Amino acid sequence: MRLRREKGRVLFVGQSYYHAWYLSRELRKLGWRADVLNWDQNPHHDIYYHGEDFRFRYEGRHALRHALFYARSIPRYDIFHFSNRGGIRFGNTLHDTVAQRFGEAAEIRLLKRLGKKIVYSNNGCLDGVLQSSYDAWGPEPTCEICPWRDQPHICSDELNREWGELRNSLADYQVTTGGNRADWNDDPTVHEVPQFYCLDPDVWRPDLTVPDEHRLDRPPGRFRLYHAVGNAHDRVAAETRQSLKSTHIWFPLAEQLRSEGRDVELFYATDIPNRDVRYYQLQSDLVCDMLTVGWFGSNVREAMMLGKPAITYLRPVWLDQIREQIPDYVDELPVVSATPETVHDVVCELLDDEARRRELGEAGREFALKWHSAPAAARRFDAIYSELLERR
User: Do both 113 and 163 map to the same domain?
Assistant: yes
Q: Which of 130-144, 167-181, 354-368 shows the lowest mean pLDDT across its residues? A: 130-144
15-227-310 Cα angle (round to 5): 90
Specify the pLDDT at position 59.
86
Answer whether residue 170 shows pLDDT above 60: yes
Specify the pLDDT at position 4.
60
Residues forming a β-bridge with 286: 225
User: Do both 27 and 73 map to the same domain?
Assistant: yes
* CA proximity to 107, closest of 120, 119, 91: 91
Range 272-301 average pLDDT: 96
User: Do both 382 and 281 map to the same domain?
Assistant: no
Domain count, the chain: 2
User: Do both 383 and 365 map to the same domain?
Assistant: no
Beta-carbon contacts of residue 238 (< 8 Å; ≥ 6 apart): none
* Mean pLDDT rounded to a whole number for the chain: 94
3 in a structural domain: no
User: Do both 37 and 183 map to the same domain?
Assistant: yes
Percent of the chain with pLDDT over 70: 96
Where residue 135 sits, what CATH number does that domain have? 3.40.50.2000
Specify the pLDDT at position 2.
43
Answer whether residue 3 shows pLDDT above 60: no
Q: Side chain identity at 335, as an amino acid letter?
A: V
User: Do both 44 and 152 map to the same domain?
Assistant: yes
294 in a structural domain: yes
Answer whether residue 72 shows pLDDT above 70: yes
User: Do both 186 and 257 map to the same domain?
Assistant: no
206 in a structural domain: no
Phi (first) and psi of residue 55, to 5 degrees: -145, 135
Task: Indicate the pLDDT class of residue 244, thresholds 50, 70 and 90.
Answer: confident
175 in a structural domain: yes
User: Do both 190 and 234 map to the same domain?
Assistant: no
User: Do both 166 and 252 map to the same domain?
Assistant: no
CA distances from 256 to 110, 249, 251, 329 (A): 58, 11, 9, 34
Percent of the chain with pLDDT over 90: 85
- The range of the structural domain enclosing residue 327 comes to 212-371
User: Do both 378 and 361 map to the same domain?
Assistant: no
387 CB-side CA count, 13 A: 9
User: Do both 172 and 229 map to the same domain?
Assistant: no
The CA distance from 38 to 22, in Å, is: 14
247 in a structural domain: yes
Phi (first) and psi of residue 13, to 5 degrees: -100, 105
User: Do both 185 and 244 map to the same domain?
Assistant: no
203 in a structural domain: no
CB atoms < 10 A from the CB of 99, how many? Answer: 14
1 in a structural domain: no
Residue pair 286/353 in contact (Cβ under 8 Å)? The answer is no
Task: Using DSSP, state whether 254 is helix, strand or coil.
Answer: helix
Answer whether residue 218 shows pLDDT above 60: yes
343 in a structural domain: yes
Range 200-229 average pLDDT: 96
